[in-house]
């Protein structure tokens, strides 16, 4: 797994970033509004060989990969380059692939003279009447490539440019007119459709990059603009929508990267990956550009400010191909109907989103275990249980090495890698086996390993590793909510041990746990963050009381009481009053575990598909509208997966960004709510019934999902973290 750029790609990115930053300025963009074309900028990119960068070297081009073209498109989108760059790159490659005397003649003019050739984005029937299309780049192109039936033709220039939303070089062209035949037959059709796929991916890159840039502009403004005595970026009403859109656009960029990877390594799914990236990018950009422009208030509505340029351009790029909702329908077709789509040659793709063979093999071993042991009774248990804890199964998982296999061998583990652990968690999800109690005990064990004494490690960790013992988290208090550092539960030193008194709430698994990881106040004379300490508290003693709380999702949680509960000092984790550092480590572990949300989204989609495929000729999957709804759920799953993979990879290689974990958790938990809501709607009214069935699982997941936006950091807290760490906005919570 590798999400980084090579040195060569970094150099390429920096080169074109510098070019567009210096040459595609706001003044230059405004100066081209009448035509949507900057001739001076075009002359520079032609001199640098950009239009023919994807043409093989033997035909006079740069021989660059599609990954390189994506990097160029990123810079062009970020600076709203007023040139038909994507269209030119795509058509030059198309002319090279056609490789007839006619196409080579035009290719030479593109390379030597900077002749602009663009393409019609929709194939047309053989010339019967008129087929007038709005052509991207048509306002300045000398040639337009179109597919008529099975004939690839090159038409002369279009009509005069038309004024338009994005100030692009657009013009109409009647594609039924006579033109120069470039090629005919199946190969001509295949090459044209491959070019459209390449255009789709590169245009998605333009849109995502422009959206990212306008969000950064909005954040910069929000850091400076004052209202009511502080920067407007400190207000959650502004910061949180920007954080949501930043996360959405990050998801779009990852989908684009995944599409590149699929072209090189998984061509059977590449067409769907391209369509998914394009649809989601248009969806995310529509929200992002509005939110960013509104962040400027009334100034954002004026032509003096640049935000409106990004709003208009990103919106226009998103609509060039037609209604983006049609792309969602196309995605559903590509995912669940027989189809064959021509694909572009991506060239060298260095990004790697996949797990290693070793990690996948370990996950497969765990899946095999579940396939062997899962009975109808256990499947019913997973559906009806309120806590997911089965002591016999937990002991069996421990014996097979599937409980905490990433722990050191000396404490009962196998030293497995993070990648192997991710595949293990996905295997649990595929079996619908609950991981909540196991996950909390695992987290507690890791905190003990990181902050406990050697004595406590030797005492506690083997107990957990055996499967016989569990832990619970004592963070939240009735009066504190998400503000865990406002803890009122106190620990007082009596000269020989600590004495704990107080109450915790939402202590899930408190009824089956032998130990509790508690944050308590040990100092009342200092600021709240500085006066808390973490303890591992033995719960099998007088003074501990656990009362059940029933929840909307059918999961049991508890409120727990501590009355003169005794804790030896050896169970203290970290220094006295040093709990903030320990909690930061604990929360980072929780918020980076995206596999939980990936599994939840996969579960509901799996059951939704099973429902949709039931009914023979009348099965819901036969409806294009139904496939589109399922495609939306698949997209939310895939983005969560990619955000989680990036977070996992960055932690392994030591390049962790503070926003990566919160983005994965925020998107995954909110996607769980959004996806189950839509799937429940899709199957209504049958989805209302509470039963052990495919629709019954979706109904149950719908009730469970909301809680995921609260635990391990509420969505509101995570949005604040993203706003601060990714966008540099001021702290928006006290």
The CATH number assigned to the domain holding 54 equals: 1.10.540.10
Residue 639 pLDDT: 98
Question: 23-32, 379-388, 574-583: which range is least confident on average?
Answer: 574-583
User: Is 296 within a domain?
Assistant: no
Where in the sequence is the domain holding 574, given as residue range(s)?
Answer: 471-588
Residues 611 and 550 in one domain: no
Residues 522 and 493 in one domain: yes
Residues 581 and 607 in one domain: no
For residue 346, give the nearest of 270, 280, 279, 277 by alpha carbon. 270
Residues 14 and 133 in one domain: yes
Q: Which of 190, 211, 229 is the last residue of a domain?
A: 190
The answer to whether residue 204 scores a pLDDT higher than 80 is: yes
Q: Which of 531, 562, 588 is the last residue of a domain?
A: 588
The answer to whether residue 448 scores a pLDDT higher than 50 is: yes
Q: Which of 134, 156, 190 is the last residue of a domain?
A: 190
- pLDDT band at residue 130, thresholds of 50, 70 and 90? low
The answer to whether residue 588 scores a pLDDT higher than 80 is: no
DSSP track, 372-395: HH--HHHHHHHHH-SS---HHHHH
Give the pair of three-digit tokens for residue 560. 């727990």
Residues 583 and 597 in one domain: no
User: Is 262 within a domain?
Assistant: no
Residue 482 pLDDT: 67
210-247: pLDDT as tens digits: 999 999 999 999 999 999 999 999 999 999 999 999 99
The CATH number assigned to the domain holding 719 equals: 1.20.140.10
Residues 583 and 640 in one domain: no
Residue 593 pLDDT: 63
Residues 63 and 184 in one domain: yes
Q: How many domains does the chain have?
A: 4
SS (H, E, C) 66-127: HHHHHHHHHHHHHCCCCCCHHHHHHHHHHHHHHCCHHHHHHHHHHHHHCCCEEECCCCECCC
Q: What percent of the chain has pLDDT over 70?
A: 98
User: Is 216 within a domain?
Assistant: no
- pLDDT band at residue 734, thresholds of 50, 70 and 90? very low
User: Is 174 within a domain?
Assistant: yes
Residue 288 pLDDT: 98
User: Is 466 within a domain?
Assistant: no
Compute the radius of gyration of the chain from its Cα atoms. 29
Are the beta carbons of 154 and 167 closer than 8 angstroms?
Answer: no
The answer to whether residue 152 scores a pLDDT higher than 50 is: yes
Q: What is the mean pLDDT of residues 353-378?
A: 96
Residues 532 and 644 in one domain: no
> Average pLDDT, whole number, for the chain?
94
Residue 483 pLDDT: 74
259-301: pLDDT as tens digits: 999 999 999 999 999 999 999 999 999 999 999 999 999 999 9
The answer to whether residue 590 scores a pLDDT higher than 90 is: no
User: Is 205 within a domain?
Assistant: no
The CATH number assigned to the domain holding 562 equals: 2.40.110.10
Residues 426 and 505 in one domain: no
User: Is 421 within a domain?
Assistant: yes
- pLDDT band at residue 732, thresholds of 50, 70 and 90? confident
Measured CA distances, 695 to 366, 633, 669 (Å): 27, 15, 20
Question: 98-102, 545-549, 591-595, 669-673: which range is least confident on average?
Answer: 591-595
Give the residues across from 676 on adjacent strands: none
The answer to whether residue 424 scores a pLDDT higher than 50 is: yes
User: Is 268 within a domain?
Assistant: no
Helix axes of 436-451 and 454-465: crossing angle, nearest 10 degrees: 160
Residue 526 pLDDT: 85
Q: What is the mean pLDDT of residues 583-612?
A: 86
Distance of alpha carbon 317 from the chain centroid? 22
Phi then psi for residue 306, to 5 deg, are -80, -20
How many helices and strands in the chain, by DSSP H and E? 23, 16
Residues 161 and 136 in one domain: yes
Residues 597 and 584 in one domain: no
Residues 494 and 402 in one domain: no
The whole-model pTM stands at 0.95
- pLDDT band at residue 389, thresholds of 50, 70 and 90? very high
């Amino acid at each position: 797994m590798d999400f980084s750029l090579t040195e060569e790609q970094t150099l390429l990115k920096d080169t074109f970033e510098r070019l567009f930053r210096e040459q595609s300025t706001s003044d230059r963009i405004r100066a081209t509004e009448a035509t949507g074309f900057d001739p001076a900028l075009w002359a520079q990119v032609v001199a640098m060989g950009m239009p023919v960068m994807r043409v093989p070297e033997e035909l006079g081009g740069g021989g660059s990969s599609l990954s390189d073209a994506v990097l160029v498109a990123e810079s062009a989108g970020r600076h709203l380059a007023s040139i038909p760059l994507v269209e030119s790159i795509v058509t030059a490659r198309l002319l090279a692939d056609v490789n007839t005397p006619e196409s080579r003649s035009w290719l030479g003019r593109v390379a030597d003279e900077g002749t602009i050739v663009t393409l019609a984005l929709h194939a047309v029937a053989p010339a019967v009447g008129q087929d007038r299309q709005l052509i991207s780049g048509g306002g300045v192109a000398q040639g337009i490539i179109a597919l008529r039936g099975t004939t690839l033709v090159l038409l002369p220039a279009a009509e005069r440019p038309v004024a338009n939303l994005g100030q692009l070089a657009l013009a109409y062209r009647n594609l039924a007119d006579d033109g120069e035949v470039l090629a005919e037959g199946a190969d001509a059709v295949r090459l044209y459709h491959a070019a459209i796929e390449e255009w789709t991916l590169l245009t998605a890159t333009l849109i995502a990059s422009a959206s990212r840039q306008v969000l950064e502009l909005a954040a910069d403004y929000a850091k400076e603009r004052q209202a009511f005595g502080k920067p407007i970026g400190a207000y959650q009403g502004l910061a949180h929508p920007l954080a949501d859109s930043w996360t959405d656009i990050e998801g779009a960029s990852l989908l684009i990267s995944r599409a590149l990877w699929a072209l090189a390594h998984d061509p059977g799914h590449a067409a769907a990956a391209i369509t998914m990236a394009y649809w989601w990018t248009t969806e995310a950009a529509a929200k992002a550009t509005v939110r960013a422009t509104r962040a400027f208030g009334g100034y954002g509505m004026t032509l003096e400010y640049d935000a409106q340029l990004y709003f208009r351009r990103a919106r226009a790029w998103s609509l060039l191909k037609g209604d983006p909702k049609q792309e969602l329908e196309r995605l559903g077709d590509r995912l669940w109907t027989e189809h064959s789509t021509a694909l572009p040659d991506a060239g060298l793709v260095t990004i790697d989103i996949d797990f290693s063979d070793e990690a996948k093999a370990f996950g497969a071993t765990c899946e095999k275990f579940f396939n062997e042991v899962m009975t109808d009774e256990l499947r019913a248990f997973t559906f009806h249980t309120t806590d997911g804890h089965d002591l016999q199964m937990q002991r069996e998982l421990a014996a097979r090495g599937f409980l905490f296999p990433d722990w050191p061998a000396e404490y009962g583990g196998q030293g497995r890698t993070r990648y192997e652990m991710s595949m293990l968690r996905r295997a649990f999800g595929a079996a619908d086996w609950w991981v909540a109690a196991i996950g909390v005990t695992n987290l507690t064990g890791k905190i003990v390993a990181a902050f406990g004494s050697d004595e406590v490690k030797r005492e506690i960790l083997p107990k957990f590793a055996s499967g016989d013992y569990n832990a619970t988290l004592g963070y939240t208090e009735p009066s504190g909510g998400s503000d865990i550092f406002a803890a009122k539960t106190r620990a007082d030193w009596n000269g020989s041990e600590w004495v704990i008194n107080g109450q915790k709430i939402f202590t899930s698994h408190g009824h089956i746990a032998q130990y509790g990881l508690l944050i308590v106040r040990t100092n009342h004379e200092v600021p709240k963050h500085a006066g808390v300490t973490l303890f591992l508290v033995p719960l099998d003693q007088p003074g501990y009381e656990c009362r059940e709380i029933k929840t909307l999702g059918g999961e049991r949680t508890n409120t727990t009481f501590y009355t003169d509960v005794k804790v030896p000092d050896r169970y203290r984790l970290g220094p006295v009053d040093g709990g903030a550092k320990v909690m930061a480590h604990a929360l980072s572990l929780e918020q980076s575990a995206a596999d939980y949300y990936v599994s939840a989204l996969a579960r509901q989609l799996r059951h939704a598909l099973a429902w949709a495929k039931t009914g023979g000729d009348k099965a819901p999957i036969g409806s294009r509208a139904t496939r589109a709804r399922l495609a939306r759920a698949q997209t939310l799953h895939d983005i969560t997966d990619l955000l989680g993979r990036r977070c996992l990879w960055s932690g392994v290689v030591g390049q962790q960004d503070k926003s990566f974990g919160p983005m994965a958790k925020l998107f995954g938990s909110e996607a769980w709510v959004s996806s189950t809501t839509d799937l429940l709607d899709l199957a209504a009214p049958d989805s209302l019934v509470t039963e052990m069935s495919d629709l019954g699982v979706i109904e149950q997941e719908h009730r469970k999902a909301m809680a995921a936006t609260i635990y391990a950091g509420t969505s509101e807290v995570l949005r604040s973290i993203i706003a601060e760490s990714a966008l540099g906005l001021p702290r928006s919570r006290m």
